Structure 1
């Protein structure tokens, strides 16, 4: 029996500003439980000068991701191939990221809030 349900509504895009950094973590197969045999993963993050709740004029979009999503100072960014070059040049610099927020889904997701990047650009000053 198949029951028709309401499809999940896509989250609206949000804009966050922070310093783009690279994090290094233990990956598969044991994610740090066997460091000598685990792969090392590198992930991009925004180190935020203020929480997402502070930066966003309307933080209601984050309520479905749990309370930590709005209070975090680190947001993992998922960069598509089209933005990869811009992201690599921006590591260590202030950036503005526009994208779709989502909650962690796998062991590779390291923060309570992630953002699928649609646009990434360097900035000089915080705009909020």
Structure 2
């Protein structure tokens, strides 16, 4: 009986430990507010994704270089070096025009967490449904 009680107690402790560990993690779809410097960056696309830069498609994306790196995002590719330091911003066409003045400045971005799923996603974590506002430098 004592052995069974110890197993039960240990099982409950493990359950709560795992729940607590993931409770601090972001997951896809979570609404977040992140701050950092927003930059427009060049990436290479098809057909060779940077292997033949002369002929590969040139892609310009807005990337938020975070003030504080992400620590934990469930199912994100965290094996990529510096995975949590930058996030690609999914921006509507109008914001490309009206928010261009915020490039190379500190901004706060509200958005929903999205995980990279295609070759066009340049960071393991992206933000969609974004809104921007300037912030003071840190």
Give the alignment's TM-score, normalised by structure 1.
Answer: 0.74
Runs of at least 4 residues off by over 6 Å: none
Q: How does 1:103-122 map to 2 (within 5 A)?
A: 103-122=115-134
Q: How does 1:45-60 map to 2 (within 5 A)?
A: 45-53=63-71
> Which of 17, 24, 29 is equivalent to 2:47?
29
The superposition leaves residues 43-81 of structure 1 with CA deviations (integer Å, 9 ceiling, x where unpaired) of: 10001121123xxxxx6xx32435469961111111112
Q: 1:26 to 1:67 in 2, by over 3 A?
A: closer
The answer to whether residue 117 in structure 2 is matched with residue 102 in structure 1 is: no
Deviates more, 1:89-98 or 1:79-88: 79-88
The superposition leaves residues 68-113 of structure 1 with CA deviations (integer Å, 9 ceiling, x where unpaired) of: 6996111111111242234311000000000011111111111111
Give the alignment's TM-score, normalised by structure 2.
Answer: 0.69
> Which of 33, 36, 44 is equivalent to 1:18?
36
Unpaired runs of at least 5, structure 1 = 1-8, 54-58
Q: State the 1:36 CA deviation.
A: 2.0
Aligned positions, number:
111
Aligned to 1:85: 97
Q: State the 1:40 CA deviation.
A: 1.1
Structure with higher Rg: it is 2
Unpaired runs of at least 5, structure 2 = 1-26
Aligned to 2:22: none
